[in-house]
Amino acid sequence: MTGTENRVLVAVGPEGVHGGALTFAAEEATRRGTGIELLHVVRTRVTGGDGLEHLQALDSSLTESGRRALTAAAERLRDLVEDEVPVATEIRSGPVVSSIVDRAAVGDLVVLERRDVGTVERLLTMSVSTRVAAHAHVPVAVVPQSWVPHPVLERPVVVGVDSSTDPLGQVREALAYAELAHLPLEVLHATWLAEPWQDLAFGNDTRAQWIREAERELDKALAEVAGGPVPVTRDVQWRRPVDALAGATRRAAVVVLNRRHERGLAPHLGATTRTVLRYAECPVLVVDRD
């Protein structure tokens, strides 16, 4: 990316990138008034010895394949943006994840595609997505290949929070995104315990009492952001968080989740976030906690 012109980065794999990620990137760039860069990374290979000539030929073939994928993606993207924003392409050699993360450092958003493939291939492609989402210093959107925006309904931005008493660190980034997109925000908090542990956790309380108390705590915490330009609602569920969040992807415009930054550990994604990314039916935006 050069200067501040192209602030939305779309990673393009060897098989290209399809409608969902390109549509999302076009909408985001148009909304933000910024350009888009399409990036393809040719994976660095160890060369040397008798196989040097063969590996050089392979790298040349992979580079040419990447250029074709970039050209095809750029043509489709330019049709989507209709010259409203500039579209640039870039090809690099190096480790795929770190190359994307490094290139994204001067931008505002990374867009990655989750391909609609079989389980094994999805696990391989998700390895790149989850690692980029964990280590990038900007928001990362993982978009299902077949996703299309709903043509009529104004779907909410849904943000998952793991605390009903202190949710604002997870909410603020989602609130800013919802304001930019002119969409309402729904704050989703879910928790669940297996039956054998419920008596120990609740004592004489009931699930309904727990839900009411969590709702009161969320209302109190969210009062700080109430009354602004974004309508904010909350949804408290007695349900496995991964099931509640995956279910939210069927009715949301975007689901917002957070990276983990824990003392002594590198940034990473929790098991719930990784699972939601794998099965989501709408774009999932991974952001830092405030």
Ranges of each domain in the chain: 6-144, 157-287
d(CA 143, CA 23): 10
pTM of the full structure: 0.88
d(CA 33, CA 11): 20
Look at residue 135 in the predicted model and tell me its pLDDT: 92
Fold classification of 157-287 (topology level): Rossmann fold (3.40.50)
d(CA 92, CA 4): 20
pLDDT in tens, the chain (290 residues): 444 477 999 999 988 998 899 999 999 999 999 999 999 998 865 555 555 565 566 667 778 888 999 999 999 999 999 989 999 999 999 999 999 999 999 899 999 999 876 554 545 556 899 999 999 999 999 999 999 998 777 899 999 999 999 999 999 999 999 999 999 999 999 988 766 665 556 555 677 888 899 999 999 999 999 889 999 999 999 899 999 999 999 999 999 999 876 555 566 788 999 999 999 999 999 999 87
Q: Are strands 254-258 and 232-238 parallel, antiparallel or unpaired?
A: unpaired
Length of the chain: 290
CA nearest neighbour of 73 among 6, 21, 132, 139: 21
Look at residue 75 in the predicted model and tell me its pLDDT: 95
Look at residue 3 in the predicted model and tell me its pLDDT: 40
Look at residue 151 in the predicted model and tell me its pLDDT: 78
6-144 and 157-287 in the same fold: yes
Look at residue 68 in the predicted model and tell me its pLDDT: 93
CATH of the domain spanning 6-144? 3.40.50.620
